[in-house]
Structure 1
Amino acid sequence: MKTCLIRLFVLLVLVLTIPTSASAAEKIKFGAPLWPGVTPKTHIVAQIISAMGYQSELIEVGPPVIYKSMGFNDMDIFLGGWTPQQDPMLDPQVKAGKVVKVRSNLSDALIGVCVSDAAYEGGIKSLDDVHKYPEKFGKTIYNIEAGTGMHTAMESILKDNVGQLGDWEHVGTATSVMLAGVTSRINKGDWVVFGCWKPHWMDVEMDIHFLKGIPGSEAMISGSSVYTVTRGGFAADYPEIQKLLENFSITSQTQSEWISEYSYKNNPADQVASKWISANLDQVKGWLKNVKTIDGKDAFEAVKAKYAKQ
C-alpha cells in the first residue's frame, strides 16, 4: 500500500511539473477584417510565427467583434487598431484590462483630400486653393459613399463653407467607382479633387498629391496611427510572439505596396506575404531581435531557413 502511494505521488508530481504543449497546439487567432491593408499585413506576421513553430488562423470579422472577443479571450491579435477613429470602442476595453495596445505598427497613416498631378502642378497645394478654380474642377469634389466618416466630414466642410467650398457639389460613391472615375480624369489630364487615404494602392499606382489642411478641415485631413492590439494576458502566454509584436512596425509606403500587390494586382495575400518576406529578410531580422522559436532556437534563423530559398 505504501509503495502504491509513493508511486501515485511521483506520478502526480510529474504531471504537474512537465511543461504543457498548449502554446504549441492552440492556434493563435488573428482578427482580420476584409480590409486590403490588414489582410496582407496579417498574413506576413502569421507566416513569421508559423516559421517559429506556432499555428494560427485568420478570423474575418470587424473591430467591434474583435475587441469584444478579446474580452472573452477568444481572439489574440489584431494589427488594424486605427486611432483615433477606433478609440470609442477600443479605449474602454483597454481601461478594463481586457485589451492591450502593444505599439503603433504604422504611424504615418493619413486621411485627406487629394488632387491630380495636373492640379498640383497648377498651384493647388492646400484645401484653400481649390475654390479658386471652379471651372477646372467642375466645381465637384469626389468622395466615398454616404455614411462613411470621410463623407460625413466633407459634408461638414461644405456646410460650414470651409475653404469657400459651400456651394460645391459633393459626389459620394463606392470606393472602386470613385477611383475608377478619378483615374479616368487623371488619364485625360483633367484636374480632379477627391477624398483619399494612405496606406492604399492609390498612393502607389496613381499620380496624386495630398493637400494641406486648413482650419475647419481637421476631421477630413488628419493623421492616424495604427496599433497592434492583443487580448489581456497574451504577453504572458506567448512571450516570444509578444517580442515580435513589440518590434513590428512599417511605413505607409510599405503597406501601400502590399495593398497594391494584393488588392490592385489581385495576387493572393499569402503569396504577397511569402514573396515580401523572402525579399526583405533584413527588415524581418530587426523584428525578430532576441526572439526565440517555440523550441528555443533563434527565430530569425528559422525564418531565413524557410524563406531564403524562395
Structure 2
Amino acid sequence: MRTTFLLTLLSGLAVSPVFAADAPQCKKVRMADLGWTDIALTNTTAQIILDGLGYDASQTLLGLGVAYSALKENDMDVFQGNWRPVQDEEYKTYFDNGWVEVLGVNLEGAKYTLAVPQYVADQGVKSFDDLAAHAAQFGGRIYGIEAGSNKPLLDMVAANRHGLGDWQIIESSEAAMLTQVANSMADKSWVVFLGWEPHPMNLDYKISYLSGGDAEFGPNFGGATVRTIARKGFSAECPNAARLFANLAFDLDYENHGMRMILGEGKSAEEAAREMIKRNPDKLAKWLDGVSTLDGGPGLPAVQSALGQ
C-alpha cells in the first residue's frame, strides 16, 4: 500500500511542471524606454505579461546613453533596445566591464541606416557617397531622431566622411522625423533620413535604403540583431523574470504590424500590444515556457486569465 502510494506520488511529481518563484524584491521591474515605437511595443508587451504574472512593471523614458548609465547604476533593470552592431563601439565598456548582462536576442533581421524616398533613389541617389552632389536638393540636412541616438551621423559629419562635413543633422524625435518625411513625400521634395526596420514606414512608404554606410552603421544596410540587456546581477537575483525576457523574441512582421497600429491606427501601445498578443497565442506560450507567476504558480494560465482568454 505504502509502495503504491509513493510510486503514485513520484509519478505525479515527474509530470508536473516545477516553477521557481522570484524573491519579493523582484516584484518591481523597471524598463528603459527611448521613445521609439518598437520599444514601446516590446516594453508594453513585457509589461502586460509581467503584470499578469503578479509583477509591477514600469517604463521610464530616457536617452540612449542615459539608459545605459541607469543600468550601470542600478536605476533600471532591463533595456530591450541593444541594437548590434551599431551600439557595439560606443557602449563596449559596459559589456567589457560587466556593467550590464545580456538576457537574449529579441529580434533578428533588423536594419538601421539612412534612407530616401524611392523617387529620389530613382534619380541616382543610392549610396551615402551620392548625397554630397545633391546638397542643394536636400538642403544640406539629414533628419535623425532624438538626441543621443544619432551619434554615428554626428561622427560622420565631424569627420567629413562622404563629403558631408558641412551638412546638418536635425535631431528631434521619431514622430517629428516621420512628419518631415511624410510632408516631403507628399510634394515629391527630396529628404534623407534615418530609417529602420521593423517599422511601419516600410509598409506605408516607398523608400530605399542607402548603401555605403558600413563605417557608420555596419554592413548589409546596418543589418542588426536587437538584444535585451539588464543590469548586472538581474538574472541571478530575479531568474524567473529574466527567463521571461530571455524568451521574449519577436519578428519583423509582428513588430511592423504592431507598430502600425500605434502610428497609423491611433491605438495606444497597450491596445496594440494586447491585440498582438491575442492574435499570437503560440508566441505567448513560447514566451511563458518555464516562467511562473511571481509567487511560483503556472505562468501561462495566469496571463491568459489576465488577458481574458
**For this structure pair, what is the TM-score category when the shorter chain's length is used for normalisation?**
0.7 to 0.9
Higher relative contact order (CA 8 A, sep 6+): 2
Taking a change above 3 Å as real, the CA distance of residues 273 and 195 of structure 1, as seen in their structure-2 partners, is: closer
Separation in structure 1 between the aligned mates of residue 75 and residue 176 of structure 2, nearest angstrom? 37
Q: Counterpart of 2:37 in 1: which secondary structure?
A: coil
In structure 2, the partner of 1:289 is 289
Structure 1 contact 43–273 (Cα < 8 Å) conserved: yes
Separation in structure 2 between the aligned mates of residue 90 and residue 129 of structure 1, nearest angstrom? 30
Structure 1 contact 40–272 (Cα < 8 Å) conserved: yes
In structure 2, the partner of 1:152 is 154
* TM-score normalized by the length of structure 2: 0.72
What letter is aligned with 2:233? G
* TM-score normalized by the length of structure 1: 0.72
Please tell me the root mean square deviation across aligned C-alpha atoms, in Å: 3.8
Separation in structure 1 between the aligned mates of residue 74 and residue 217 of structure 2, nearest angstrom? 36
Q: Counterpart of 1:56 in 2: which secondary structure?
A: strand
Could you say which structure has the larger radius of gyration? Answer: 1
Taking a change above 3 Å as real, the CA distance of residues 99 and 131 of structure 1, as seen in their structure-2 partners, is: closer
Taking a change above 3 Å as real, the CA distance of residues 258 and 189 of structure 1, as seen in their structure-2 partners, is: same
The worse-fitting range, judged by mean Cα deviation, of 174-183 and 281-290 is 174-183
Structure 2 contact 41–269 (Cα < 8 Å) conserved: yes
Count of matched residue pairs: 286
In structure 2, the partner of 1:31 is 32
Q: Counterpart of 1:274 in 2: which secondary structure?
A: helix
The worse-fitting range, judged by mean Cα deviation, of 20-29 and 223-232 is 20-29
In structure 1, the partner of 2:170 is 172
In structure 1, the partner of 2:236 is 236
Asked if residue 78 in structure 1 is aligned to residue 74 in structure 2, the reply is no
What letter is aligned with 1:270? E
Q: By how many angstroms is 1:173 displaced?
A: 5.9
Please show how residues 37-52 of structure 1 align to structure 2 within 5 Å.
37-52=38-53
Taking a change above 3 Å as real, the CA distance of residues 122 and 283 of structure 1, as seen in their structure-2 partners, is: farther
Identical-pair percentage: 24
Taking a change above 3 Å as real, the CA distance of residues 153 and 200 of structure 1, as seen in their structure-2 partners, is: farther
Separation in structure 2 between the aligned mates of residue 183 and residue 111 of structure 1, nearest angstrom? 19
Separation in structure 1 between the aligned mates of residue 277 and residue 298 of structure 2, nearest angstrom? 17
Separation in structure 2 between the aligned mates of residue 56 and residue 205 of structure 1, nearest angstrom? 32
Taking a change above 3 Å as real, the CA distance of residues 214 and 96 of structure 1, as seen in their structure-2 partners, is: closer
In structure 1, the partner of 2:212 is 213
Separation in structure 2 between the aligned mates of residue 89 and residue 214 of structure 1, nearest angstrom? 17
Gaps of 5+ in 2: 1-19
Q: Deviations over 1:163-207 (max 9, x none)?
A: xx6699667363555433432342345665443233334223222
Q: Counterpart of 1:53 in 2: which secondary structure?
A: coil
Structure 2 contact 152–217 (Cα < 8 Å) conserved: no
Gaps of 5+ in 1: 1-18
